[in-house]
Homo-oligomer: A and B are copies of this chain.
């Protein structure tokens, strides 16, 4: 069953792809098995994260990039993963998707997948990475990952991308810029979309200033290159020779998309030549191993330690008779002694 599905996926069957994506997203046994097999065929796709505040026109921009990438490199397929932070019942995403589908449905080499960020089992970043791997193995050369906002979960998601595009618009809100300084740090490419509005040039020069002052200096390429699973601070790489360009686009009129796509492809070339591509790939593999380790540990722990013991310790901690640290020491001691017992 799984084998037949994977085989269809390899042959380019969109229905098989869709079904495997669902299985992976729902973490069924079939999904887990498929992902394990498909992983061995991954590593070639360029993952491109696109983030920015609501109203910055990200979806239109993503559509435009997808179309341009298809024209530029016709032999490569394009996947779009749209992460929708709203709750499942708002319907906003559905409407947005319908518009998007109409726009792109002519091209069978573009595949669009929406993912709700709430309720994602086991972390949004892990989920996105898993879907990316399926697309990668299915021969999609470009994977566009669109996410709203600038929270930590979005940062986690785009950290797994090779190329991160941060989108802003002219003079939104009270400030000259609506994106926060913090988000600049993760940008490989900065885009001022809706650049036909007043204030676009000001936004561009403001962002260029920020870049010039070092606010957008990349450091996260080395962030995950830690060998220590406990999460100690990693060394930063010292060579920083990609300066994030600041580009103007009017995505709805397809203006500026050629330059933007040039930058996306140039960034991929830079990553490969500088060795960063490998670093990022390693970081993704490491993050996946770390995540699965924790999940396995907790599952094992739940099997071994009786519920009554956990309940009783939580109760005591809630009554302030013991601290959470003491509860943890007791739980670990039990878990350990059970390991010993079972080995006799």
Which residues of A are at the interface with B, using a C-beta cutoff of 8 A? Answer: 32, 35-37, 39-43, 54-55, 85-87, 89-90, 92, 117-118, 121-122, 124, 148-154, 172-175, 178, 180-182, 185, 215, 227-231, 278, 281-282, 285-286, 288-289, 292-299, 301-302, 307, 310-311, 313-314, 317-318, 320-328, 331-332, 336, 339-340, 343
Q: How many copies does the complex hold?
A: 2
A70 vs B299: C-alpha distance in the bound complex, in angstroms?
Answer: 46
Cβ of A282: which chain B residues have Cβ within 8 Å of it? 314, 318
B229 and A175 within 8 A (CB): no
- For residue A228, give the distance in angstroms from its CB to the closest CB of chain B: 6
A310 close to B227 (CB less than 8 A): yes
**Which residue of B151, B173, B297, B343 contacts A343 across the interface (Cβ within 8 Å)?**
B343
Q: Name the B residues within 8 Å of A32 (CB-CB).
A: 325
| Interchain CB contact under 8 A, B298 and A317 | no
Residues on B with beta carbons closer than 8 Å to the beta carbon of A298: 229-231, 293-294
Contacts of A302 in B (CB 8 A): 228-230
Residue of B nearest to A228 (CB): B302
Asked if A86 contacts B285 (CB within 8 A), the reply is no
- Whether the Cβ atoms of B86 and A310 lie closer than 8 Å is no
